[in-house]
Amino acid sequence: MIKFFKNVSREMQKVSWPKGRELSKYTVTVITTVAFVAVYFAVVDLGISQILELFFE
C-alpha cells in the first residue's frame, strides 16, 4: 500500500496543472456547454411532450 501511494505521489509531480487564467477559460467553457446541453434537452423534451399531448389527448 505504501508503494502505491509513493507511485501516486511521483506521478502527481509529473502532472502539468493549468494556470489560473487557463483554468478560468476551461471552467467557463464547461459551464457554457453544460447550460447549452441542458437547454437543448429541455426544449426537445418540451417538444416531444407537446407532440404526444396532441396525439393522446
Quickly list DSSP for 13-25: HH--PPPHHHHHH
Over residues 14-27, the pLDDT tens digits come to: 999 999 999 999 99
How high is the pLDDT of residue 22?
Answer: 96
Asked whether 18 and 26 are in contact (CB, 8 A), the reply is yes
Average pLDDT over residues 17-44: 97
Q: How far apart, in whole angstroms, are the C-alpha atoms of residue 33 and residue 40?
A: 10
Sign of torsion over alpha carbons 4, 6, 10, 16: positive
Query: In this model, does residue 32 exceed pLDDT 90?
Result: yes
Average pLDDT over residues 28-57: 96
Say what percent of the chain tops pLDDT 90.
91
Whole-prediction pTM: 0.67
How high is the pLDDT of residue 57?
Answer: 77
User: What single letter denotes the amino acid at residue 50?
Assistant: Q
